[in-house]
Chains A and B, each alone.
Chain A
Amino acid sequence: MAKVKKIIKNIKVDADSCNGCRACEVACSFFHSVPKYSSVNPARSRIRVLTHRLKDIWLPVFAGEYTPTECAGRDIYTIDGKEYDECGFCRAACPSRDLFKEPDSGLPLKCDMCEGEDEPLCVKWCLADVLVYEEREVWVEEETEGEKQQELDIGLESLADRFGLDQLRDAMARMDAKE
């Protein structure tokens, strides 16, 4: 089976070294302002330092995918005796919280690794070397046509089970008309 090369961009977070200064938030919002470097607003930052000072928690988290629905359940992690709040490690922009949404429009924010820069600005600006940027190459198996078809079938079947074939057909017809 054929393999293809993929670049994985990664920011390693050494939360134990974080001094809680939030320079990463400043740099991120400064870089992403429009025009670039015109304004600052950590509330628009795609990295946030979740902070519980007296619990010794300073946790930089990057904005991940947007999700329109919140999870049905929540997790609470205890690591090294420190209890991390529900959603603590989650990177989603989600209805359950204000994190990773534009404060005015509410539109979701997502880290883009500062496309075009040699490394993300938060990494460059981090004053305590908490954030380390890495790129690594991985070889992944290329998907075959058969596998793709199988995935499509499974997806459609589950939709048909949930909504019925009629509704699915109607929805597809509407999509067709739109095209």
Chain B
Amino acid sequence: MRYAEMGYHLEVDLATGNVEKVETDPKLTELYLGGLGTGVKQHWDRVPPEVKPFDDENILIFSAGLFCGTPAFGANRTAISFISPQTELLGFTMMGGFWATELKHAGYDKIIFSNKSPELVYLWIKDDQVEIRDARHLQGKGSLEVQDLIREELNEPNAQVAAIGVAGENRCSVASIEQGRSSASRLGGGAVMGDKKIKAVAVRGTQDIYLADGARFFELLKEVREYINFRNDNPIPDVMTILSGIGSPQEMLHTDEKWHTESFVWGNARSRRKDFWTEDIEKSWTSTQLSTIKRLISCYNCPQRCAALIDAPDVPRYMMKCFSKLTYGMAAYSDNLDFSFRIVQKAQEYGVDGFSTPQILAFAFELKENGILTGKDFEGCPPDEDKEGRFMWLLERVARREGIGDILADGTYWAAKRIGAGAEEYAHNNIKKHEQVPIKLGRLDPIYYLMYSTNEKINITQAEGNWPQAAFPKMEQRERFVEDWPQLPDEKFKKWLLEWEPRGEKSIPHFPTAPMCSEIVDWIEMLHVTDDALGLCAGLASFCLKPPYHINNYPKLISAATGMDVDRDELKRKVNRSRCLHRALNNRRGMSRKDEKPPADHWRKRFPELEEDLLTTYYAYKGWNYDGIPTRERLHELDLDYVADDLEQRGILKDGQGQEDHQEHKS
């Protein structure tokens, strides 16, 4: 009997149409847990580093997390992994919603797609019956409308459908995979899906998911539930509203956007508008939001209501969540919230990422203003005064890869390379070729520096959380914060927070010190990697301050669900193992220290020497060498000798190269 997991993968060879249900080795769960963790192992074993994103050999994996389908609140995440067409590294993008649990109930932990279909198809899974179906009649359909069309066609109102829009069909690097109220949008998963000619994956499952000790699991969940209620009733004081609660940022609930609109940057991640949030704006935005949102809605088995049903004038209904409420409007310099609600509907039907796409559009208009792109590239585009109209126009060109849109569809890094003539300077907000959250700050923050630089997701929202974003000015605020903090791995973190000052000797960038930052970042990273394996929403765990799931209750929950005997140290070993494997895979594809840099203009005040020290100290703490490659000792400790052998054979890890070479470089 398998517990929490189903114990099967669905292998789909799109070239031959062969579909197989393959039993998995329980040992893999012991080693890598599940979700992204076990997914990474498949990529390591099956995709050699020479494989390019659009090669047949680039497999596309849909992984349901280990906890998906158990009664754990917020365990509903699907991790979709592939070699990213944008970064050319192992990318993973995630979505909540209802799809992952349905896949588990159909009897599978993963779907692994290999090769490409000759024609556009969709996959229909109903428990043991799996069918690759013709989707040529669905070509060009929006990623939302197609979900209902497929449900109708199958006469299966309860099927959950993950689909791409035209952007995915056109292999845009910003193409997302959409599913009901959720999107897996970063790093171009939709492009790889489109390249394989998969329009959608529809699934309906009616099988049981077993727990090793369900009664115990239930008792533990009651505690989680009590804590969720407590946190919902007691927002954290002394921090911004958006950080005070749990769930992903409650953008659909809160109407006060003073902080985002004045602290984040507008246009092509350029300028702050420090006096934007006037009384008039507040009035108009609040009224627009309240009249547009029909209902706040949740993902599967989750108490938080991070999404909403949107009913904007003259726009078909759709569902929105999180920050896309602001990204297009701010990139376009539009003062109308109504514009955001209208353009996001289009963007979702095209199936594009809500972070990168607005920046790509703003980037293009900046190139035009600076004479790098010309009027010819924008023939038919509304005039520049019509900030909203021109964004709508260019969004469609990008999704359809028409005209200049064809170049822009690959993201700012690749577009700038193709455009040349100095366009590279304007693709300024990238890490590892991927557009970042539009935020520009004053002084280097050492914790954020490490998270931005080293995270494999290449997105700060999948790296941050749990540690406050800024020091509390008053000692009594700090004392209040630390007095109730059961989520910590060690009491010493409280001492650091108490000592941490907004200014002076014990403030950023020199405090927390590099060794402290290493421990803080390692802790938060471990939480994210755990969530990605379990399929837990980071909004109830790694992404938040004082979340209901944490390092001190994950092991108990995992033990009760799976029957494995997991304590905190063992959990750490498991997630470090998959983390190191992920890194080694990217190292094998050429990633190393040279790539681990936040955008040059992310902070105005930089400290190059300190930054080098931070990176070196953190690498050493992680058991990686100076270049950011896991050492043989580290890999051996994690039962990854085969990885060390491979890296050595390829000359990526030099024989005997270990911790000692840090000292050399430091001196």
Q: Which residues of A contact B (CB under 8 A)?
A: 19-23, 26-27, 30, 33, 36-44, 53-54, 56, 58, 103-104, 127-128
Contact = CB atoms under 8 A, between A and B. Distances in A.
B194 interface: no
Interface stretch (B206-214, B234-242, B550-558, B658-666): B206-214
Interface string B186-208: 00000000000000000001111
Contacts of A53: 180-181, 297, 309, 319
Contact of B105 (A19, A43, A127): A43
B140 interface: no
B130 to A, nearest CB: 17
Contacts of B461: none
A39 B302 contact: no
B71 A26 contact: yes
Contacts of A40: 69-71, 208-209, 211
Nearest to B306: A19
A37 B298 contact: no
Given A19-B297, A37-B218, A56-B294, A127 B71 contact: no
Interface of B: 69-71, 73, 98, 105, 148, 180-181, 205-211, 214-215, 217-218, 228, 294-303, 305, 309, 311, 316-319
A56 B295 CA distance: 8
A21 B298 contact: yes
Given A37-B214, A41-B105, A127 B302 contact: yes
B208 A39 contact: yes
**Most chain B beta-carbon contacts within 10 A, residue among A36, A38, A40:** A40
Contacts of B296: 19
Given A39-B211, A40-B69, A20 B218 contact: no
A62 to B, nearest CB: 17
A30 B499 CA distance: 47
**Most chain A beta-carbon contacts within 10 A, residue among B69, B98, B205, B206:** B206
Contacts of A33: 208, 214
Contact of B298 (A19, A42, A43): A19
B551 to A, nearest CB: 24
Contacts of A39: 208-211, 214
Contacts of A30: 71, 214, 218
Given A20-B298, A53-B319, A54-B318, A41 B206 contact: yes
Contacts of B208: 33, 39-41, 44
5 contacts: A30-B214, A30-B218, A40-B208, A43-B207, A104-B206
Contact of A27 (B71, B217, B311): B71
Given A26-B71, A40-B70, A127-B303, 18 more contacts: A21-B298, A21-B300, A21-B302, A22-B301, A26-B301, A30-B214, A39-B208, A40-B69, A40-B208, A40-B209, A41-B206, A43-B105, A43-B205, A43-B207, A53-B180, A53-B309, A56-B317, A127-B302
Nearest to B311: A56
A123 to B, nearest CB: 13
A54 B211 contact: no
Given A22-B301, A41-B206, A43-B206, A56 B214 contact: no
Closest 5 CB pairs of A and B: A103-B206, A37-B214, A127-B303, A43-B206, A21-B298
A52 to B, nearest CB: 8
A7 to B, nearest CB: 27
Contacts of B217: 37
Contacts of B207: 41, 43, 103
B98 to A, nearest CB: 8
**Most chain A beta-carbon contacts within 10 A, residue among B215, B300, B319:** B300
Contact of B299 (A21, A37, A41, A128): A21
A37 to B, nearest CB: 4
Contacts of A103: 206-207
A126 to B, nearest CB: 10
A27 B316 CA distance: 34
B215 A22 contact: no
B215 A37 contact: yes
Contacts of A43: 105, 205-207
A92 B228 CA distance: 35
Contacts of A23: 73, 301-303
Nearest to B102: A42
Nearest to B156: A98
B95 to A, nearest CB: 15
A27 B221 CA distance: 11
A23 to B, nearest CB: 5
Contacts of A44: 208
Contacts of A21: 297-303
Contact of B297 (A20, A26, A36, A38): A20
A54 B309 contact: yes
B338 to A, nearest CB: 20
A62 B311 CA distance: 29
Contact of A42 (B105, B303, B311): B105
A161 to B, nearest CB: 40
A128 B299 CA distance: 13
A31 B27 CA distance: 30
